[in-house]
Structure 1
Amino acid sequence: MPEPAPAPDDTGLAFGQRLKIQRTRRGMTRDVLAGLVGKSGSWVKAVETGRLQTPKLSLLLRLAEALRMRDLAQLTGDQSMPTSLFTGPGHARLPAVRSALNAMPALTSRSASPVAHLRARLDRAWATRHSSPHHREVLGQLLPALIEDSQLAAHQTDSRAERRAAQAVLAEVYALSQFFIAYQPAQDLLWRVTERGMVAAQDSGDLHAIGVAAWLMAQAHRDSGDWDAADAVTSQTLELLDRHADGTTTPVAAIRGALLFEGGYTAARRGEIGAAWGRWDAANSVAERLPAMYYHPVTSFSRAIMGAHAVTIAVELRAGGESVRQADRAVSLAIPSRPRRARHEIEQARAYYLDAQPDVALSVLEVANEAAPETIRYNGYARRIVLEELDERDGRRQRRASELADKMGLLTG
């Protein structure tokens, strides 16, 4: 009988063995992983077989990013250095949001708010999120009551039409919740709202609600390393929209464009250059047909966002020169949402860092921190760049990174 495969948390494993387990779990070849970290396939093999020792911190961080690992201790086995990469700190309002999501609407006797009233509150919550630099704090204040009231409305509605409308609002409330929960130490909660959002959206029968839920589910699968599942969700939802969206409204058209880009994003993660840019082109064609100033409140899909999306595609393909060209062309001020603008600036910083321009990358991260501190604090890519620069021998760059790390809360946990 064959021996069971070792688990990555086995304390007796060498670094190379852990690396091989994590790589194969994600279905990556040595060449693919090597390309993501700027090395050769033979280098990865040498590390995995123990001919090369554990890399320095900068390469450890790149490997963890490429493998979408939440903690360096999973890769090194050293529990004394639990550096969280893609998980930021738990927000002070996370327990209240968790409590609201765990509430039982059937156990209360109060009457639900009208669905139209909930929709108005939800629209205001999206607008407030986009305008606030401290968007997680804002959402943390608004979400508990909005979650409980929306769950109650979906539970109490009598007519089929009212129930479908309530479920559509509830699905979008779960979507808003995902923006708050993402990159916090609450993966169980993230998957719970992802799946609840899809169930509520399907119950509503609303194409826009289904598209939004699928867009977020595809991201959750991709960020967990399950690219096949992300592709399946994206392609199936696009088929549904294309089959039933005759006379498509602008929001449904926008969610279709957002899903097309998500397919390109996943293709870029795979290293599929033609497919990645082909999907971007298809999404851009959708964007060009939208009203000039239109901005989708959930996905940010719009004409303004396509430059930012191009930067992301180039960065994920590890194309340094192309990343910088796209970063120089994309104007962040055209994006009306503060958190999404900061996210774009982080992607620009990734481009400059990939192109060996660390000073420019740090400058852009400083701008992102001014735009939305709660975006950069929770963003794994920003954290990786700053942590890597803290290990830099150039004292000036190290001091600059240290100041930014302090602002991001990396030095205080």
Structure 2
Amino acid sequence: MSRDATPGPYADPLKFGQRVQILRERRGMTQSQIADLLGMSPHTYRKIENGQQKPPGLETVLRIAQVLRVRDLADLTGLPEAHVDLFVGPGHPRLAGVRAAIDNFALTTGVEPPPLAHIDARLRAAWKSRHASKNHREAIGALLPDLIRDAQVLVRSADSAADRRAAQVLLAETYSLSQFFIAYQPDSSLLWRVAERGMTAAQESEDPHAIGVASWLLAQAHRDSGPRHYDAADAVNLEAVRFLKPLLPDGSDDVLAIAGALEFELGYTAARRRETGAAWRHWDKANGMAGRLPADYYHPVTSFSRAVMGAHAVTVAVELHQGGESVRQAARADECVIKSRPRRARHRIEEARGYQLDNQPDVAVASLEKAFEAAPETVRYNGYAKAILLEEIESTQAPRRRRASELAVKVGLLAR
């Protein structure tokens, strides 16, 4: 190897082991505790710390980082550019197939373009499957490659401007469905490609609802990228709200719903900034818009509805770090039934965050158990859920520790 070559981040077992030891001691954990969480023998773990064993593979290094709650891999490797995030879940087995379909730009194809109505029906079925399935990524991941290919073919083969716009609506919605699959998986560049292509397709369609949905998802991509991107998230949201506002008096329920969802997103980002007044003001406005929808209405993409506003209130309170308020809102939200399994699971996770803030860890773990029952994949890919479980598997209270550990095994945080 050239003397100028960059050494591997774990090339020195002793230095790597020393970093692990320092981080473990900062956490106040024993070698046996860490070994148990990693699913290895204390003897094997001691050899890692002592530099007596070949450096572990990347998967084990990431597990160590997760157990020690390391957010920056530089603390383990000494490389400042290395980063690990609890909010990135494992790569789904179907991720490669979805990625290949998204990245494929065949200029010629032998695929016969399906009728518009056919793809529209498949999309309706895919959304329904997502909301009804416990393992929603598996459900839509199986459908997406063919849907993406056929929607792209439909756009390319459109015979008229009207047909092309109609096809772009379906392509934009296909990208929206893809973003739900890709979110919190280890391919952020793919998420951005999908979000931006969805917006481009929606703008080409000139359909207000499609533009609203694409804006909603693009704003989320910005916001979830961190505080430096909050302004960009607000800019996308505000532009979409202004665009839709003239259409609301005579618009369809879907247009009103996406406008309401966008209004709430402004409140969500404000809550992330800890802007209490703005956060609740946007929630109030979104709640008023939800009240104009039929009682049983449920937006197929955003889940915006009367029923979901209670869950949204919990999220605002949690993001504002208002533990008591989040618990009160959670009690009120339980009066409504959220139809979508993944959205119901997400609400239970937010509820768990509220109970954790309110120093009720046993109830927080119980809420995560309910989330797992509703949709295991939602918990498996959610950083907040994993952070709470990692906290409680170290509890000094044996019943709580055992309960959290059992759920952590099911989620995949702990080895059996």
Q: Which residue of 1 aligns with 2:256?
A: 253
Gaps (5+ residues) in structure 2? 1-8, 10-24, 30-68
Alignment of 1:229-308 (within 5 A): 229-245=232-248, 247-308=250-311
Q: Once the two structures are aligned, what percentage of the paired residues are identical?
A: 59
Contact 2:134–2:376 under 8 Å retained in 1: yes
Give the alignment partner of residue 328 of structure 2, picking from 325, 328, 337: 325
User: Structure 1's 353 and 332: CA in aligned 2 closer, same or farther, altered over 3 A?
Assistant: farther
2-side partners of 1:129 and 1:332: how far apart?
A: 23
Q: Following the alignment from structure 2 to structure 1, what is the Cα–Cα distance between the partners of residues 259 and 411?
A: 35
**1:122-162 deviation digits (Å, cap 9, x = unpaired):** 01100011011111110111111001100110111120000
Partners of 1:364 and 1:326 in 2: CA distance: 14
Q: For this pair of structures, how many residues does the alignment match?
A: 350
Deviations 1:294-314 (A, max 9, x none): 000100000000000000000
Q: Give the 3-state SS of the residue equivalent to 2:112 in structure 1.
A: coil
Structure 1: 4+ residue segments shifted above 3 A: 54-58, 79-84, 243-246
- Partner deviation per Cα, 1:281-334 (whole Å, 9 max, x = no partner): 000000000001000010000000000000000000000110110011112761
Q: Secondary structure of the residue that 1:86 maps to in structure 2?
A: coil
Q: Per-residue CA shift, 1:55-74, capped at 9, x if unaligned?
A: 7489xxxxxxxxxxxx8342
Match of 1:78 among 76, 79, 85: 76
* 1:349 aligned partner, one-letter code: A
**1:393 matched to which residue of 2?**
396
| Structure 1 position 109, deviation (Å) | 2.7
* Alignment counterpart, residue 381 of structure 1, candidates 376, 384, 409: 384
- 1:81-160 to 2 correspondences below 5 Å: 84-160=85-161
Tell me how far apart the structure 1 counterparts of residues 370 and 111 of structure 2 sit (CA, whole Å): 47
| 1:299 alignment partner, SS class | coil
Number of the residue aligned with 2:62: none
- Structure-2 residue corresponding to 1:165: 166
Structure 1 residue 244, shift from structure 2 partner: 4.4
Q: Secondary structure at the match of 2:86?
A: coil
What does the per-residue CA deviation read over 1:167-186, in whole Å, with 9 as the maximum and x for residues that have no partner? 01100100000111111111
Q: Which residue of 2 aligns with 1:353?
A: 356
For residue 300 of structure 1, give the secondary structure of its aligned residue in structure 2: coil
Offset from partner CA, 1:333-381 (integer Å, 9 cap, x none)? 6101111101101111110001000000001101111111011111111
What displacement does 1:260 show?
0.4
Check the 8 A contact 2:323/2:358 in 1, yes or no: yes
Q: TM-score scaled to structure 2, two decimals?
A: 0.80
Distance 1:243 1:56, change over 3 A: farther
Q: For residues 75-112 of structure 1, what are the alpha-carbon distances to aligned partners after superposition, in whole Å with 9 as ceiling and x for unaligned?
A: 76224998641011111111110111112242213221
CA separation of 1:350/1:76 partners in 2, compared to 1, >3 Å: closer, same or farther? Answer: farther
1:5 corresponds to: none
User: Structure 2 residue aligned with 1:342, among 314, 331, 345?
Assistant: 345
Q: TM-score, normalised by structure 1?
A: 0.81
Instruction: Judge conservation of contact 1:300–1:340 (CA < 8 Å) in 2.
Output: yes
Q: 1:187-202 residue pairs with structure 2 within 5 A?
A: 187-202=188-203
Q: Structure 2 vs 1, CA of residues 74 and 57 (structure 1 numbering), >3 Å: closer, same or farther?
A: farther
